Amino acid sequence: NAVIKKKKKIIAIIPARIGSKGVKSKNIRKVKNLTLIHRTINQLKKLKLINTIAISTDSKIIQKIAIKNGVWCKNLRPKSISGDKSYTFEAIDHVLKQIEVKYDYICEVQPTYVFRKSSTILDCLQKIKQKNYDSLISVSRVNDTYHPNFVIKKKNNKYKFKKSTTLYSRHKL
């Protein structure tokens, strides 16, 4: 397969703002002696398919962690796209407009998911490259949610992915 033979460039972007209403400074909180940022960086560094790791943040503390660990974090994210009403795609777009790296795929990795395995990221990256998908999202079954942005239904052994008719950040709830 020509798609697999051609080496695709992958940039992994970690959106990590400092402000949090629920858990103050959660992205620099430690779990088993490592901050959430360190855990995510370490996971991504283990994956040979990732060519570039970047962090989008509004925090000088997180920026220092990124740079110390060899992760791109040139400019802080502006406050205008770092608040409770901001969307993740704005943070990603901010990185992509600044970084001088060519890429074929963007991999967004949230630092707050501490139970994620490196193998999950690897499986997704391999699947998207092998199948030549234009996008892929990992999901978990949730029986009840107060943040219904996406709906996935199974019918006749096929999955239908549908975006909710409302677009809002969870903070507006």
DSSP 40-68: HHHHHHH-TT--EEEEE-S-HHHHHHHHH
User: Measured on CA atoms in the order 32, 22, 53, 115, is the torsion positive or negative?
Assistant: positive
- The pTM of the full predicted model, rounded to 2 decimals, is 0.78
pLDDT tens profile 25-82: 888 888 889 999 999 999 999 998 899 999 999 999 999 999 999 999 999 999 999 8
Residue 159 has pLDDT above 80, yes or no: no
Rounded to a whole number, what is the distance in angstroms from the first to the last CA of the chain?
Answer: 46
Most confident of 44-58, 125-139, 153-167: 44-58
Q: What's the pLDDT score for residue 171?
A: 57
C-alpha angle 80-82-88 in degrees, rounded to nearest 5: 115
Region class of 53: left (phi > 0), else alpha (psi between -120 and 50), else beta: beta
Q: What's the pLDDT score for residue 48?
A: 87
φ and ψ at 53, to 5 degrees?
-115, 130
Q: For 18-30, what is the mean pLDDT?
A: 81
Q: What's the pLDDT score for residue 145?
A: 58
Q: What's the pLDDT score for residue 168?
A: 57
Q: For 106-129, what is the mean pLDDT?
A: 88
Q: What's the pLDDT score for residue 149?
A: 61
**CA-CA distance, 104 to 80, in Å (whole number)?**
28
Position 163: which residue type?
Answer: K
Q: What's the pLDDT score for residue 14?
A: 95
Residue 155 has pLDDT above 90, yes or no: no
Higher pLDDT, 24 or 150: 24
